[in-house]
């Protein structure tokens, strides 16, 4: 494979395959670890551009994987629905290619409203899992941590609309920065999310002050109460320790 790749480590818990269409991200999330991994400054990372030749390479990879049932995540190191997508339509063309080869797509974006605006016809094709990252219900907190990303309310409304359309929806509740807010997100969206993926806050010393055992226990209680399907990421599960003994790490 060329641009479709197999993620390693914790990333693999989200999807067995992935592809990144854009270079950089304009959301400016202060917790983002990607600039460091790519050895770019945050200012450099905020300069978004299509990856050169990515669609040609994607076509070749997709042809070789034709009919493969493993989901392909869009995207880990960028967002497939940044504002640049309005003019570039790179994600739409990628969806056309992948769906044309009967591949499964696991979409993850902080701009689900734009995704529905531009590509509702493709997203409803039955091979796409429609996902967004939501960490807060309080938009003032969202603005602090994700200053240039779409509002919490716009994401929630788009997710609810997608669910009403019959799309398979999922939420990345990672990184959990404010445990109380994270639990409120679950409560608010309990009837609109098919699968939750929950992960702890890493790469920041402030995360060590959070009682991960108490949070994980409370999250499991709430997820079980609302009958949710979920996956608790390994690092959070290890941090919870004895508090989750005998509990199910995932219900999928």
Domains and CATH numbers, the chain: 9-251 (3.20.20.70)
Can you give the C-alpha Rg of the chain in angstroms?
18
Quote the distance between the C-alpha of residue 179 and its chain's center.
Answer: 18
- In this prediction, residue 18 carries a pLDDT of 97
**Hey, what long-range contacts does 228-231 have (CB within 8 A, 24 or more apart)?**
228/186, 228/190, 228/193, 228/195, 228/196, 229/194, 229/195, 229/196, 230/195, 230/196, 230/197, 230/198, 231/13, 231/195, 231/196, 231/197, 231/198
Phi/psi-derived region of residue 82, left when phi > 0, alpha when psi is between -120 and 50, beta in every other case: beta
Helix (H, G, I), strand (E, B) or coil at 197: strand
Strand runs (DSSP E) across the chain, as ranges?
17-18, 22-23, 49-50, 72-74, 105-109, 128-133, 168-176, 195-200, 229-232, 250-251
- In this prediction, residue 37 carries a pLDDT of 86
Phi/psi-derived region of residue 146, left when phi > 0, alpha when psi is between -120 and 50, beta in every other case: beta
Give per-residue pLDDT as tens, 96-106: 999 999 999 99
Q: 250-251 and 229-232 as β-strands: parallel, antiparallel, unpaired? A: antiparallel
Residues in a beta bridge with 106? 73, 129
- In the predicted model, residues of the chain with pLDDT beneath 50 are none
- In this prediction, residue 223 carries a pLDDT of 98
Give per-residue pLDDT as tens, 164-221: 999 999 999 999 999 999 999 999 999 999 999 999 999 899 999 999 999 999 999 9
- In this prediction, residue 36 carries a pLDDT of 87
Confirm if 135 and 98 have CB atoms less than 8 A apart.
Answer: no
- Percent of the chain whose predicted confidence (pLDDT) is above 70: 100
């Amino acid at each position: 494979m060329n641009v479709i790749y197999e993620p390693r480590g914790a990333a693999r818990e989200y999807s067995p395959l992935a592809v990144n269409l854009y270079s950089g991200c304009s959301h400016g999330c202060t917790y983002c670890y990607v600039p460091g991994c790519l050895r770019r400054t945050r200012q450099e990372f905020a300069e978004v551009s299509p990856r050169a030749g990515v669609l040609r390479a994607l076509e070749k990879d997709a042809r070789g994987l034709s009919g493969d049932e493993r989901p392909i995540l869009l995207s880990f190191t960028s967002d497939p629905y940044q504002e640049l997508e309005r003019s570039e339509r790179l994600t739409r063309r990628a969806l056309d290619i992948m769906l044309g080869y009967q591949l499964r797509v696991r979409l993850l974006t902080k701009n689900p409203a734009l995704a529905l605006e531009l590509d509702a016809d493709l997203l409803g094709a039955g091979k796409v899992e429609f996902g967004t990252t939501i960490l807060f219900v309080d938009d003032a907190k969202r603005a602090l941590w994700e200053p240039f990303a779409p509002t919490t309310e716009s994401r929630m409304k788009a997710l609810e609309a997608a669910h009403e359309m019959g799309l398979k929806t999922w939420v990345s509740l990672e990184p959990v920065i404010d445990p109380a807010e994270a639990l409120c997100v679950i409560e608010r969206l309990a009837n609109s999310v098919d699968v939750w993926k929950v992960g702890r806050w890493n790469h920041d010393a402030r995360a060590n002050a959070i009682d991960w055992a108490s949070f994980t226990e409370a999250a499991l209680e709430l997820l079980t109460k609302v009958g949710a399907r979920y996956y608790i990421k390994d690092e959070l599960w290890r941090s919870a320790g004895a508090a989750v003994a005998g509990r199910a790490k995932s219900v999928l």
